Amino acid sequence: MDIRKQLVSYSRNIARRELVLGSSGNISARSGTAMVIKASGTCMETARNADFLTVEIATLRYRHKTLRPSCELRLHAACYRSRPDIACVIHTHPLYATVLASCSIKPVICAPEFMIASGGDVAVIPYICPGTPQLAQRVGSAVRNHPIIYLKNHGLLTVGATIAEAFMRTLIAEQMAKMQVISLMIGKKINSIGRHRKQQLLAATLRR
């Protein structure tokens, strides 16, 4: 499927699942030396093919006459520069992931799918003003070892080798945060699946 059509389809799915509100959040996919990214001010809920534009990853140059790229274009470019193996970056503001990160609670690896999606660990980045080169630099560095990054007082960022993979990571990261928030609401601390079991699971995944 055409890259813009895929981005539109996933954008609408992200909005349907209330992982963003209004024009917040952004999504991009790699296309050669460039990325195709959501335009500034576009709501994912109503996004169309024409709401995406192509920006060069190295120079951040673009030719569109009327659209401006998302204010987080530096954030996306930093991820592609750090990880030549990824083809998609999704930044959302999911409720539970943001609550957990904003309370300075690191999400626990508490289920096998979270273990596989995260590779065994997640990053939590301190609050840095959105849209700034500082945020792009911090996330660009963390993404080298973490495909799932929680942003304190802000939201979530996931990357993937495909749009589907980055999206699945977003869903899993939010689901795991939800489990943890619920466990805290009932006064219990959720257990990690444990270091030994993590290694077992990763080894089994690699054997497949």
CA–CA gap between residue 187 and residue 79 (Å, rounded): 37
State in angstroms the smallest separation of the CB of 155 from Zn ion: 5
CA–CA gap between residue 208 and residue 203 (Å, rounded): 9
Nearest in space to 108 (alpha carbons), one of 138, 79, 150: 150
**Count of chain residues binding Zn ion (CB under 5 A):** 2
Contacts of Zn ion in 126-145 (CB under 5 A): 130
State in angstroms the smallest separation of the CB of 202 from Zn ion: 30
Which stretch, 105-113, 118-126, 151-159, 189-197, contacts Zn ion (CB under 5 A)? 151-159
Burial 31-61, CB ≥16 within 10 A → b, else e = eeebbbbbbbebbbeebeeebbbbbebeeee
**Residue that the structure tokens 């996306």 belong to:** 76
State in angstroms the smallest separation of the CB of 93 from Zn ion: 6
Residue 90 is inside which H or E element, if any?
A: strand 88-92
Q: Where are the alpha helices (DSSP H) in the chain?
A: 3-16, 73-82, 95-102, 112-118, 133-142, 163-185, 195-207
State in angstroms the smallest separation of the CB of 204 from Zn ion: 35
β pairing state of 123-125 and 148-151: parallel
Which stretch, 15-23, 120-128, 150-158, 196-204, contacts Zn ion (CB under 5 A)? 150-158
Q: Indicate the residue among 120 and 130 with the shorter CB distance to Zn ion.
A: 130
CA–CA gap between residue 49 and residue 38 (Å, rounded): 9
State in angstroms the smallest separation of the CB of 47 from Zn ion: 16
The site map against Zn ion for 168-197 (x = CB under 5 A) is ------------------------------
Q: Indicate the residue among 89 and 108 with the shorter CB distance to Zn ion.
A: 89
Q: Indicate the residue among 82 and 132 with the shorter CB distance to Zn ion.
A: 132
Q: Indicate the residue among 94 and 155 with the shorter CB distance to Zn ion.
A: 155
Which residues lie near Zn ion (CB under 5 A)? 130, 155
